[in-house]
Amino acid sequence: MARKAYGQRCPVARTLELVGDRWTLLLVRDLLGGPRRFQDLQAGMPGLAPNILSDRLKLMEEHGLVGRRFYSDHPPRAEYTLTPKGQELGMVIGALAAWGSRHADTRAHLVDAESGQEVRLGYFRADTGERVSGRRVRVARRESAGPTPRARRPAPSPSART
C-alpha cells in the first residue's frame, strides 16, 4: 500500500509519500546498477517477502519509477528497469550513502570510480555552476499565474554541513 499522505505541500513530503515505504529506496539502489529480474531483487533483500516485493514493484511502476519487461511467457518472468524519473533518485541514494558512510557504516565511502578519489555531494548554481553552501539553499514556490499570488509556505532550509 502507498504510504499515507502527509498532507503537506512540500517537495520533501511528497517525495517521501512516493518512496518512503520500507524497502523502496533499497530497490532503487539495486536497480541503479541496471535491469534486475524479480528473483535477483529478492536474493538481494533477505527479509523481504515475495508478496511485499511484488507490491512494491507494482507501486513503483504505477508511480513511473520502474518499467517492467517480460523475458519469459511460460512461466511469466519479468525484469525491472528504472525509468529516467527513477534514475534521478540516484542523488537521494547518494545522499543517504554519503551520510551513512560518515555516521552509520564508516568503512564505506563514496569514490569516483575513474580516479579512485573520494567524492562529496554539494549544491551548485544551475546557471553558472558555482558552488553554493547548503545554508543558502531554500525551497521556493513558483507563483500561480492567477491574479492573486498564493501565500508562501515557510520554506525550510535543506542546509547541510559539508
86-145 residues near a second copy, rule: CB under 8 A: 87-105, 107-115, 117-129, 131-132, 134, 136-142, 144
Residue 151 found at the interface with a second copy (CB under 8 A): no
Greatest Cα pair distance in the chain: 59
Q: Which stretch binds a second copy (CB under 8 A): 3-11, 54-62, 72-80?
A: 3-11
Q: Is the peptide bond preceding residue 147 cis, with omega within 30 degrees of 0? A: no
Output 69 or 109, the one with its CB closest to a second copy.
Answer: 109
State the Cα–Cα distance between residues 64 and 59, nearest whole angstrom: 9
Torsion angle of the four alpha carbons 111, 106, 158, 116, in this order, in degrees rounded to the nearest 10 = -10
Output 64 or 68, the one with its CB closest to a second copy.
Answer: 64
Contact set for a second copy, span 14-43 (CB under 8 A): 14-18, 20, 22, 25-26, 29-30, 32-33
Residue 52 found at the interface with a second copy (CB under 8 A): no
Residue 147 found at the interface with a second copy (CB under 8 A): no
Output 72 or 157, the one with its CB closest to a second copy.
Answer: 157
State the Cα–Cα distance between residues 63 and 60, nearest whole angstrom: 5
State the Cα–Cα distance between residues 130 and 157, nearest whole angstrom: 19
Helix (H, G, I), strand (E, B) or coil at 15: helix
- Supply 91's cell numbers: 542523488
Quote the least distance from Cβ 80 to a second copy, whole Å.
15
Residue 2 found at the interface with a second copy (CB under 8 A): no
Residue 53 found at the interface with a second copy (CB under 8 A): no
DSSP, res 32: T
Residue 1 found at the interface with a second copy (CB under 8 A): no
